[in-house]
Structure 1
Amino acid sequence: MTTTPRPIRDLDVPLETVQALVARQNACQTLADAAAHTHSPSDRIAYAHDAWLLGHPDGACSSDADYPVWAADLAAKPTYYRPLEAS
């Protein structure tokens, strides 16, 4: 069976598509390197989640608007983003 070869223009990929793919691969490698060097299990989970999001940019993510009571309670805590200070 013989087929007619396709012209290169049919196989070409736009430069922006290639650049986006390379950037995503670099970001995933950075996350993998960070996960390999951390001693924190919660950091490893965060890096794995970030890598999943890079691979699934259309994945559903919740926001504070999805949980208004939780977000309001969290915002009301004065020390939420500050480490405990020694007295």
Structure 2
Amino acid sequence: MACKYCEKPWFWKKVGRCQRCMIQLAFLSIITWVLWWYLGKHSPKSIESISILVAGFAFHSLLFLHLWMRFVILPWRRSKFNIKT
């Protein structure tokens, strides 16, 4: 990866800091939900539909975690410990 945060080995050091990862997750989330809408909505109990749903929820959850860390946790830590960036 090109980002200095993405080269770190520990997950919690990376999450919420890499804009490139967040953009990729946003596109993957949108593409997955649109794909499910067109391909899986008519038969929601099929294996294909369930797998697209699981992927959509995984991408969406990881995106939510990134955004939560970026806009809630990191600013709170900076203000709590008075860290300048």
TM-score, normalised relative to structure 1: 0.33
Q: Taking CA–CA contacts closer than 8 Å with sequence separation of 6 or more, which of the two structures ends up with the larger relative contact order?
A: 2
Greater Rg by CA: 1
Higher helix proportion, which one? 2
